[in-house]
């Protein structure tokens, strides 16, 4: 199994469909002999390459097949078509990121959770340039969980040369029929100010298309919040599923763990949430341990000044203590994220008290 990667506060940008970089302006770029969109401009800063006629497949980040436990913490991925690729059987956790692109811009066979991230549509003003957020390609197992994300637009005149926010696009289209899986959970969808769609949702009422690989019943939506004030869920594609409870059709609850756990129970989000609340960005392992039995929690292997923080699943701090020795105490019934901070570093535990 490949080693894990922790990528923190990094911008991954592929400028190919954004602007002519200084390096490209100095290079000699030869157009493809077949299927080429034409001769590219050569002056640095030229943004005409954002036009649909120039757009090519150009990943800003690519995670290879079977790469395990990749974390992107508050990172940005900037591109247009096919900007974020995750290979078959890879496991990825994206925490509070900004994912920007246009056609099928989050794609591949990965198991991934995007947690409270911005899904930014980065398209030109041309009528034929619309965004498909996802193109999932799972043949088995889980797929993509978009957990409490916001569908938004690249900022006109700053992040894009477009004069307006994005036109309405789509949640996505399966790359592989029947088995691809994408779940949009408690998604906030912003609106367009394009004159043809002013005030309308950034997601078309149909929601999903089957124009890439066919249909898949693994396309889900739950708890959508439309800033337009219009409920578009009755108009969704008939082969997609609008859930009335946070449980998938195979009886799997919608949790971050159920999308990242693999065979070893990996779920980095409790620690990411806790460290974020504490103002920490990095992982350093502590030897202190935390255990629970009935209503008792035991903090063991304490050899130095140690701070212990207790969070509810919503990330709210409910209790904190400072100890210098092994300690036991009672907690009310619940499911807790316990973070310990000692001289060695941090560790987190998910504990149940009854």
Is there a domain that residue 250 lies in?
yes
Q: How far is CA 39 from CA 18, 22, 32, 79, in A?
A: 16, 17, 9, 20
224 and 160, same domain (yes or no)? yes
pLDDT reading at 3 higher than 50: no
Predicted confidence (pLDDT) per residue in 323-349, tens digit: 999 999 899 888 888 888 887 777 778
Look up the domain containing 96 and give its range: 5-14+55-260
The reply to whether 73 falls in a domain is: yes
* In a domain? residue 93: yes
Pick 255 or 34 by higher pLDDT. 255
Number of domains in the chain: 2
How does residue 2 score in pLDDT terms, banded at 50, 70 and 90?
A: very low
Q: Are residues 60 and 187 in the same domain?
A: yes
Any residues with CB less than 8 A from the CB of 220 and at least 6 apart, and which? Answer: 181, 182, 183, 184, 240, 241, 242, 243, 248
Regarding whether 307 and 196 lie in a shared domain, the answer is no
Does the CA dihedral 156-157-159-163 come out positive or negative? positive
Mean pLDDT for 105-116 is 98
Tell me the three state secondary structure of residue 227. Answer: coil
Q: Which domain CATH number covers 240?
A: 2.160.20.10
pLDDT at 95 over 80: yes
Whether residue 22 is contained in a domain is answered as no
Residue 196, both tokens? 């043809």
Look at residue 188 and give its three-state secondary structure.
Answer: strand
Q: Are 107 and 82 contacting, i.e. CB atoms less than 8 angstroms apart? A: yes
Query: Where residue 1 falls among pLDDT bands split at 50, 70, 90?
Result: very low
Tens digits of residue pLDDT in 146-160 = 999 999 999 999 899
23 is a domain residue: no
- Please tell me the pTM assigned to this model: 0.80
Closest among 322, 265, 261, 328 to 291, alpha carbons compared: 328
- Side-by-side strand order, sheet with 111-115: 5-8, 70-73, 91-95, 111-115, 144-147, 181-185, 218-222, 241-242
**Buried-exposed string 274-312: b where 16+ CB fall within 10 A, e elsewhere:** bbbeeebeebeebebebebeeeebebeebeeebebbbbe
Query: Do 230 and 204 share a structural domain?
Result: yes
Do 282 and 349 fall into the same domain?
Answer: yes
């Amino acid at each position: 199994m490949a080693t894990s990667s922790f990528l923190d506060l990094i911008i991954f940008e592929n400028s190919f469909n954004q602007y002519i970089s200084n390096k490209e302006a100095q290079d000699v770029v030869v157009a493809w002999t077949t299927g080429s969109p034409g001769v590219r401009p050569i002056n640095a800063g030229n943004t005409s390459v954002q036009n649909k006629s120039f757009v090519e497949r150009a990943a800003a980040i690519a995670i290879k097949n079977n790469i395990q436990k990749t974390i992107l913490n508050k990172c940005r991925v900037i591109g247009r078509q096919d900007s974020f690729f995750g290979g078959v059987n890879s496991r990825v956790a994206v925490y509070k990121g900004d994912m920007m692109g246009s056609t099928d811009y989050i794609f591949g066979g990965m198991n991934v959770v995007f947690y409270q991230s911005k899904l930014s549509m980065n398209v030109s003003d041309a009528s034929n340039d619309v965004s498909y957020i996802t193109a999932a390609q799972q043949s088995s197992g889980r797929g993509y969980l978009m957990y409490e994300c916001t569908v938004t637009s690249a900022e006109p005149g700053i992040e894009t040369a477009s004069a307006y926010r994005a036109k309405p696009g789509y949640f996505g289209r399966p790359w592989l029929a029947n088995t691809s899986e994408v779940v949009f959970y408690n998604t906030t969808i912003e609106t367009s100010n394009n004159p043809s769609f002013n005030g309308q949702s950034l997601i078309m009422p149909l929601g999903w298309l089957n124009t890439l690989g066919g249909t898949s019943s693994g396309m889900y939506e739950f708890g959508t919040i439309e800033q337009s004030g219009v409920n578009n869920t009755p108009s969704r594609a008939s082969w997609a599923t609008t859930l009335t409870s946070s449980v998938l059709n195979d009886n799997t609850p919608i949790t971050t763990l159920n999308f990242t756990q693999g065979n070893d129970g990996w779920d980095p989000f409790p620690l990411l949430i806790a460290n974020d609340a504490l103002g920490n960005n990095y992982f350093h392992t502590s030897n202190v341990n935390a255990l629970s039995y009935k209503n008792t929690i035991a903090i063991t292997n304490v050899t130095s000044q140690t701070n212990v923080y207790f969070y509810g699943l919503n990330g709210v701090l409910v209790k904190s203590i400072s100890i210098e020795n092994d300690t036991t105490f009672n907690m009310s019934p619940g499911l807790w994220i316990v973070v310990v901070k000692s001289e060695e570093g941090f560790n987190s535990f998910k504990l149940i008290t009854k």
